[in-house]
Amino acid sequence: MKRAVLSELNAERTARRAVIVITDVVSGEQRLVKAAGIAGDPLHEQLAAQLRTGKSGIVEVDGRKLFLNVYAPTARLVMIGAVHIAQTLAPLAQSLGYDVVVIDPRTAFAAPERFPGISLFADWPDVALPPLKIDRYTALVAMTHDPKIDDPALLHALERECFYIGALGSRKTHARRLERFRARGAGEAALARIHAPIGLPIGAVSPAEIAVSIMAEITASLRLPPRPERAGGA
Protein backbone atom coordinates (compact mmCIF):
# COMPACT_ATOMS: atom_id res chain seq x y z
CA MET A 1 0.00 0.00 0.00
CA LYS A 2 1.33 3.42 -0.95
CA ARG A 3 2.32 5.71 1.87
CA ALA A 4 -0.21 8.39 0.87
CA VAL A 5 -3.06 5.86 0.85
CA LEU A 6 -1.93 4.40 4.18
CA SER A 7 -1.73 7.84 5.76
CA GLU A 8 -5.23 8.74 4.61
CA LEU A 9 -6.53 5.36 5.73
CA ASN A 10 -5.09 5.77 9.22
CA ALA A 11 -6.58 9.25 9.54
CA GLU A 12 -10.06 8.00 8.66
CA ARG A 13 -9.82 5.04 11.02
CA THR A 14 -8.67 7.27 13.86
CA ALA A 15 -11.74 9.45 13.27
CA ARG A 16 -14.03 6.36 13.29
CA ARG A 17 -15.03 6.87 9.67
CA ALA A 18 -15.42 3.94 7.30
CA VAL A 19 -13.20 3.69 4.26
CA ILE A 20 -12.72 1.21 1.42
CA VAL A 21 -9.42 0.61 -0.38
CA ILE A 22 -9.95 -0.62 -3.94
CA THR A 23 -7.16 -2.70 -5.47
CA ASP A 24 -7.05 -3.89 -9.07
CA VAL A 25 -6.08 -7.54 -8.64
CA VAL A 26 -4.11 -7.63 -11.92
CA SER A 27 -2.40 -4.23 -12.06
CA GLY A 28 -2.13 -3.59 -8.33
CA GLU A 29 -3.49 -0.08 -8.84
CA GLN A 30 -5.08 1.28 -5.67
CA ARG A 31 -7.40 4.05 -4.65
CA LEU A 32 -9.20 4.93 -1.45
CA VAL A 33 -12.86 5.85 -1.13
CA LYS A 34 -14.16 7.48 2.04
CA ALA A 35 -17.65 6.64 3.28
CA ALA A 36 -18.80 10.17 2.50
CA GLY A 37 -17.69 9.76 -1.12
CA ILE A 38 -19.32 6.42 -1.88
CA ALA A 39 -22.56 7.90 -3.25
CA GLY A 40 -20.67 9.79 -5.95
CA ASP A 41 -18.28 6.99 -6.88
CA PRO A 42 -18.69 5.03 -10.16
CA LEU A 43 -18.72 1.84 -8.05
CA HIS A 44 -21.21 3.18 -5.51
CA GLU A 45 -23.53 0.16 -5.68
CA GLN A 46 -20.75 -2.36 -5.09
CA LEU A 47 -19.09 -0.19 -2.44
CA ALA A 48 -22.32 0.41 -0.53
CA ALA A 49 -23.22 -3.27 -0.59
CA GLN A 50 -19.77 -4.31 0.63
CA LEU A 51 -19.74 -1.66 3.36
CA ARG A 52 -23.08 -2.88 4.72
CA THR A 53 -21.60 -6.34 5.23
CA GLY A 54 -18.54 -4.90 6.93
CA LYS A 55 -16.41 -7.49 5.13
CA SER A 56 -13.84 -7.29 2.38
CA GLY A 57 -14.23 -9.17 -0.90
CA ILE A 58 -13.62 -9.37 -4.65
CA VAL A 59 -16.03 -7.94 -7.22
CA GLU A 60 -15.83 -8.02 -11.01
CA VAL A 61 -16.61 -4.80 -12.87
CA ASP A 62 -16.28 -4.47 -16.65
CA GLY A 63 -14.01 -7.50 -16.76
CA ARG A 64 -11.74 -6.20 -14.00
CA LYS A 65 -11.36 -8.02 -10.71
CA LEU A 66 -11.23 -5.56 -7.82
CA PHE A 67 -10.52 -6.34 -4.20
CA LEU A 68 -12.58 -4.12 -1.92
CA ASN A 69 -10.84 -3.89 1.44
CA VAL A 70 -13.40 -2.58 3.93
CA TYR A 71 -12.26 -0.74 7.04
CA ALA A 72 -15.31 -0.05 9.21
CA PRO A 73 -15.28 1.05 12.86
CA THR A 74 -16.43 -1.43 15.47
CA ALA A 75 -20.14 -0.91 16.05
CA ARG A 76 -21.18 0.25 19.51
CA LEU A 77 -24.37 -0.32 21.48
CA VAL A 78 -25.15 2.27 24.14
CA MET A 79 -27.94 1.24 26.49
CA ILE A 80 -29.71 3.74 28.70
CA GLY A 81 -31.05 1.77 31.63
CA ALA A 82 -29.43 -1.13 33.48
CA VAL A 83 -32.69 -3.09 33.43
CA HIS A 84 -33.42 -6.82 33.09
CA ILE A 85 -33.59 -6.62 29.30
CA ALA A 86 -30.18 -4.95 29.27
CA GLN A 87 -28.71 -7.86 31.23
CA THR A 88 -29.52 -10.14 28.31
CA LEU A 89 -29.00 -7.62 25.52
CA ALA A 90 -25.49 -6.63 26.64
CA PRO A 91 -23.83 -10.07 26.32
CA LEU A 92 -25.86 -10.80 23.19
CA ALA A 93 -24.51 -7.65 21.53
CA GLN A 94 -20.99 -8.49 22.70
CA SER A 95 -21.25 -11.92 21.09
CA LEU A 96 -22.00 -10.13 17.80
CA GLY A 97 -18.87 -8.00 18.07
CA TYR A 98 -20.33 -4.78 19.48
CA ASP A 99 -18.62 -2.58 22.03
CA VAL A 100 -21.29 -2.28 24.73
CA VAL A 101 -21.89 0.57 27.16
CA VAL A 102 -24.60 0.74 29.84
CA ILE A 103 -25.60 4.06 31.42
CA ASP A 104 -27.94 4.42 34.40
CA PRO A 105 -27.78 6.98 37.23
CA ARG A 106 -29.65 4.57 39.52
CA THR A 107 -26.84 2.87 41.39
CA ALA A 108 -29.12 0.03 42.54
CA PHE A 109 -29.40 -0.98 38.87
CA ALA A 110 -25.95 0.08 37.63
CA ALA A 111 -24.12 -2.48 39.75
CA PRO A 112 -20.98 -4.10 38.27
CA GLU A 113 -22.03 -7.57 39.40
CA ARG A 114 -25.14 -7.30 37.21
CA PHE A 115 -23.04 -6.49 34.12
CA PRO A 116 -19.74 -8.37 34.30
CA GLY A 117 -17.31 -7.37 31.56
CA ILE A 118 -19.49 -4.46 30.40
CA SER A 119 -18.54 -0.77 30.43
CA LEU A 120 -20.92 0.63 33.04
CA PHE A 121 -21.53 4.28 33.97
CA ALA A 122 -23.63 5.19 37.00
CA ASP A 123 -24.20 8.71 35.67
CA TRP A 124 -26.96 10.73 34.08
CA PRO A 125 -26.92 10.52 30.27
CA ASP A 126 -26.11 14.22 29.86
CA VAL A 127 -22.90 13.54 31.80
CA ALA A 128 -21.95 10.14 30.43
CA LEU A 129 -22.84 10.51 26.75
CA PRO A 130 -20.78 13.50 25.49
CA PRO A 131 -17.38 11.88 26.23
CA LEU A 132 -18.45 8.77 24.30
CA LYS A 133 -18.77 10.80 21.08
CA ILE A 134 -21.49 8.58 19.65
CA ASP A 135 -21.54 8.45 15.86
CA ARG A 136 -22.96 6.73 12.78
CA TYR A 137 -21.58 3.40 14.01
CA THR A 138 -23.47 3.68 17.29
CA ALA A 139 -26.85 2.22 18.22
CA LEU A 140 -28.57 3.81 21.22
CA VAL A 141 -31.41 2.14 23.11
CA ALA A 142 -33.38 3.85 25.90
CA MET A 143 -35.03 1.42 28.31
CA THR A 144 -35.76 3.04 31.69
CA HIS A 145 -39.34 4.21 31.01
CA ASP A 146 -38.33 7.35 32.92
CA PRO A 147 -38.44 10.52 30.77
CA LYS A 148 -35.93 12.22 33.06
CA ILE A 149 -33.37 9.61 32.02
CA ASP A 150 -34.47 8.49 28.56
CA ASP A 151 -35.41 11.83 27.00
CA PRO A 152 -32.02 13.57 27.28
CA ALA A 153 -30.31 10.47 25.88
CA LEU A 154 -32.66 10.22 22.90
CA LEU A 155 -32.40 13.93 22.13
CA HIS A 156 -28.60 13.66 22.27
CA ALA A 157 -28.70 10.71 19.88
CA LEU A 158 -30.95 12.58 17.46
CA GLU A 159 -28.26 15.25 17.18
CA ARG A 160 -25.77 12.59 16.09
CA GLU A 161 -25.71 10.19 13.12
CA CYS A 162 -26.50 7.04 15.09
CA PHE A 163 -27.50 4.26 12.72
CA TYR A 164 -30.15 3.09 15.19
CA ILE A 165 -32.14 4.84 17.91
CA GLY A 166 -34.76 2.89 19.84
CA ALA A 167 -36.91 3.30 22.93
CA LEU A 168 -39.02 0.97 25.03
CA GLY A 169 -42.65 1.84 25.57
CA SER A 170 -46.10 1.45 24.09
CA ARG A 171 -47.42 3.47 21.17
CA LYS A 172 -49.21 5.76 23.61
CA THR A 173 -46.03 6.25 25.60
CA HIS A 174 -44.12 7.02 22.43
CA ALA A 175 -46.79 9.46 21.24
CA ARG A 176 -46.38 11.42 24.48
CA ARG A 177 -42.61 11.26 24.05
CA LEU A 178 -42.87 12.72 20.56
CA GLU A 179 -45.01 15.58 21.82
CA ARG A 180 -42.39 16.42 24.43
CA PHE A 181 -39.68 16.37 21.76
CA ARG A 182 -41.70 18.54 19.38
CA ALA A 183 -42.13 21.05 22.18
CA ARG A 184 -38.34 21.16 22.40
CA GLY A 185 -37.98 21.88 18.69
CA ALA A 186 -37.34 18.41 17.26
CA GLY A 187 -38.36 18.07 13.61
CA GLU A 188 -40.46 15.28 12.13
CA ALA A 189 -37.58 13.84 10.10
CA ALA A 190 -35.52 13.46 13.28
CA LEU A 191 -38.42 11.97 15.25
CA ALA A 192 -39.01 9.39 12.51
CA ARG A 193 -35.57 7.97 13.25
CA ILE A 194 -36.72 6.64 16.64
CA HIS A 195 -37.76 2.98 16.56
CA ALA A 196 -40.67 2.65 18.98
CA PRO A 197 -42.16 0.36 20.02
CA ILE A 198 -38.68 -1.08 19.94
CA GLY A 199 -37.63 -4.36 18.31
CA LEU A 200 -38.94 -6.51 15.48
CA PRO A 201 -42.56 -7.68 15.95
CA ILE A 202 -41.89 -11.32 16.83
CA GLY A 203 -44.36 -11.57 19.70
CA ALA A 204 -41.59 -11.25 22.30
CA VAL A 205 -42.76 -11.54 25.91
CA SER A 206 -39.83 -12.29 28.21
CA PRO A 207 -36.85 -9.95 28.71
CA ALA A 208 -34.67 -12.39 26.78
CA GLU A 209 -37.09 -12.52 23.84
CA ILE A 210 -37.37 -8.73 23.82
CA ALA A 211 -33.57 -8.50 23.79
CA VAL A 212 -33.48 -10.80 20.74
CA SER A 213 -36.08 -8.67 18.93
CA ILE A 214 -34.10 -5.50 19.68
CA MET A 215 -30.81 -6.98 18.52
CA ALA A 216 -32.45 -8.27 15.35
CA GLU A 217 -33.80 -4.81 14.53
CA ILE A 218 -30.41 -3.23 15.23
CA THR A 219 -28.75 -5.77 12.93
CA ALA A 220 -31.25 -5.06 10.16
CA SER A 221 -30.60 -1.32 10.49
CA LEU A 222 -26.85 -1.88 10.24
CA ARG A 223 -26.79 -4.43 7.42
CA LEU A 224 -29.80 -3.82 5.17
CA PRO A 225 -30.34 -0.94 2.74
CA PRO A 226 -32.55 1.84 4.17
CA ARG A 227 -36.25 1.26 3.72
CA PRO A 228 -37.99 3.91 1.58
CA GLU A 229 -40.07 5.17 4.51
CA ARG A 230 -36.85 5.71 6.49
CA ALA A 231 -34.80 7.15 3.64
CA GLY A 232 -34.39 10.40 5.55
CA GLY A 233 -33.56 8.66 8.81
CA ALA A 234 -30.47 7.14 10.37
Average confidence (pLDDT) over 123-144: 97
| Model pTM score | 0.89
CATH of domain 76-230: 3.40.50.720
pLDDT (0 to 100) of residue 4: 84
Digit-coded pLDDT (tens) for 88-108: 999 999 999 999 999 999 999
Q: Three-state SS string across 102-146, please?
A: EECCCCCCCCHHHCCCCEEECCCHHHHHHHHCCCCCEEEEECCCC
| Residue 232 pLDDT class (50, 70, 90 cuts) | very low
In the chain, residues under CATH classification 3.40.50.720 are 76-230
